Structure 1
Amino acid sequence: MTSDDGQKVLMAKIGAAHGIRGEVRVKPFGDDPLSFADYGVLTSKDGVTSFEVERARVQKTVVVTKFRNVNNRNQAEDLNGVELYVRRDQLPEPEEDEFYYSDLNGLSVVDRDGNDLGKIVAVQDFGAGDLLEIRPKRGRTFYIPFTKDFVPEVSLSRGQVTAHLPEDYFSDDGSDSSETASPDK
């Protein structure tokens, strides 16, 4: 296996058991909730454990999935929290202005003047859209929306994204405390 073949892409994460026959709830990452089942054998992050999808069906926000050789609730419960990966070379090339999360991790982030803001450590989606989690050289991580307005340029070849942040983006308070209103009496 070459080093290019060894790069893994997170496709889904196994959640709670579903029923008594070995099914689990799976949270997929991607536009098509069933796409993780299209790539054959999935592996755990360490590559030691492999998973083959027997059947999968969308149910609300998860995909109820039956994996081969997982035949009862106890086996299914043991899988809670396992992340499912495929090799990067198994995936199609993304369209223009589309990126796999794994391609963004580790990229440096600069502002419009070229000042270093940090590195992307994760791409999160808490329900309102993709967010880039940025780790600065000092301090706590912060998030920026992964939209064209906030991130107009992504250069995988340079290993860098450019962020356009509003001037008050890092202020603790969006308003000036000297402008607080007081009632006239």
Structure 2
Amino acid sequence: MGRIVGLFGVKGWVKLKTFTDSPEILADQAGWWVGRDGDWREVASVQTQRNGATLLARFEGCDSPEAALAYRGFEVGLPRESLPPPGEDELYLADLIGLLVVNTDGELLGALAGMFSNGAHEVMRVVDGDAERLVPFIDQFVRRVDVDAKRILVEWGKDW
């Protein structure tokens, strides 16, 4: 849902870059999950507030810049049950992890291992053994996403 990108002030606040169009979802939750490299833990959010394009947060027991520094670079998430159901023609990117990515020639490119933002759009990290492809998750290349069939159809050459 976001990443802690810095500190704010002298009372232990952190700055959060959100990856959602609805940052109020985070602000409305009493507890968040934070972590990196697969090591996640729950923290209680004492306060949140907007500051321009960023969301500020202060966690229970985090009362100084030194304490807040320990959270810099951490990803922020929420339990799935805390999220609203996706709307029609919407999905959560996390639901795509593990789907097979096939091109319009019928060639298997690999499985979706992750997503990241390059600032302009989301990018799929497609892995097939030792090979890795980065495919922009935009209409120009993504033809169809079929979660039920566990497939993503892309206009992308196997040798690109």
Name the TM-score, length of structure 1 as normaliser: 0.75
Structure 2: give runs of 5+ residues left out of the alignment.
none
Q: How many residues align?
A: 157
Provide the residue aligned with 1:57 in structure 2.
50
SS in 1 for 2:119: coil
What does 1:78-157 align with in structure 2 at a 5 Å threshold?
Answer: 78-139=70-131, 141-157=132-148
Aligned CA-pair RMSD:
2.1
Is contact 2:143-2:154 (8 Å) kept?
yes
CA distance in 2, matches of 1:134, 1:47: 24
Q: Read off the aligned partner of 1:127 and give its amino acid letter.
A: G
Q: In the TM superposition, what is the alpha-carbon distance from 1:113 to its structure 2 partner?
A: 2.9
| Distance of 1:14 and 1:119 partners within structure 2 | 28
Aligned twin of 1:38: 28
Deviation at 1:37, TM superposition (A): 1.6
Tell me by how many angstroms 1:63 deviates: 1.9
* Higher Rg of the two aligned structures: 1
Residue deviations 1:78-119, cap 9 Å, x none?
Answer: 111222221112211112332212111111100113210011
Equivalent residue in structure 2 for 1:24, among 11, 14, 18: 14
Mark the runs of 5 or more structure 1 residues left unpaired by the alignment.
Answer: 1-10, 171-185
Cross-structure match for 1:181: none
Assess if the C-alpha contact under 8 Å between 1:28 and 1:63 holds in 2: yes
Aligned partner of 1:158 among 123, 146, 149:
149
Q: Secondary structure at the match of 2:66?
A: helix
More divergent stretch after superposition (91-100 vs 17-26): 91-100
Determine the C-alpha separation between the residues in 1 that align with 2:89 and 2:134: 20
Stretch moving more, 31-40 or 109-118:
31-40
Higher strand share: 2
TM-score when normalising by structure 2: 0.85
1:96 and 1:156, CA in 2 relative to 1: closer, same or farther beyond 3 A? same
Distance 2:94 2:46 in 1: 23
> Could you tell me how far apart the structure 1 residues matched to 2:127 and 2:138 are?
18
**Cα distance in 1 for residues equivalent to 2:140 and 2:79:** 31
